Amino acid sequence: KQEVTQIPAALSVPEGENLVLNCSFTDSAIYNLQWFRQDPGKGLTSLLLIQSSQREQTSGRLNASLDKSSGRSTLYIAASQPGDSATYLCAVIIQGAQKLVFGQGTRLTINP
Amino acid sequence: NAGVTQTPKFQVLKTGQSMTLQCAQDMNHEYMSWYRQDPGMGLRLIHYSVGAGITDQGEVPNGYNVSRSTTEDFPLRLLSAAPSQTSVYFCASSYSGGVPQHFGDGTRLSIL
């Protein structure tokens, strides 16, 4: 059974710092991996989607990497801002399946 | 273009009552799904649909029914509400199966 783990569960950093969020998964046979952002009381917003054949994706200050062999993905946020405060979730699609398997999320707080 | 719309946003039920959570999307997406989000457990798939007239079970389907009579709508029915179904419910849709790109804002459901 595919399991997705995100560490740490919560992270608080001062504004302007670069930071890394971690995601690990137990089964390397994934179709793709997706990072989402969730604001309090809101739904999920897709940030980056990495296909299984890719190693990384970038969008603005965000960079996500994927290492299938080690079962790991990282989300790098450059020059963090208070507006980046949210919960960040990673999810994997298993090959041949029709669902996302989510991690429990990392709650990020950026302090002004 | 409203995206994915969920109603109601909040609901309190008594044990044994039934209700329907509504989900509608205006993007002509074929794939729609329902997730529940519980503290410490991430999002888990309840049911999904790959097109009108086609539905299938996800990870936690017990106690819930779905139908897909149109491309736009995918209602989730609680047959006899139980306290264990207290959760936040999210509906999602996408162009292609297995990659929910658009999430609704959720329905917060409490069962007393």
Looking at the complex, does the CB of residue A61 fall below 8 Å from at least one CB of chain B? Answer: no
Are the beta carbons of A105 and A41 closer than 8 angstroms? no
Dump pLDDT digits (tens) for A13-68: 999 999 999 999 998 888 889 999 999 888 899 999 998 889 999 999 999 999 99
Q: With an 8 Å Cβ cutoff, are A104 and B40 in contact? A: yes
The C-alpha angle with vertex B98 and arms to B97 and B99, in degrees rounded to 5, equals 100
Question: What residues have CB less than 8 Å from B39, skipping those under 6 apart?
Answer: none
Looking at the complex, does the CB of residue A103 fall below 8 Å from at least one CB of chain B? Answer: yes
Residue of A nearest to B96 (CA): A98
Residue of B nearest to A89 (CA): B42
In the chain, the amino acid numbered B38 is D
Which of the residue ranges A11-25, A56-70, A96-110, B25-39 would you say has the lowest mean pLDDT?
A: A96-110
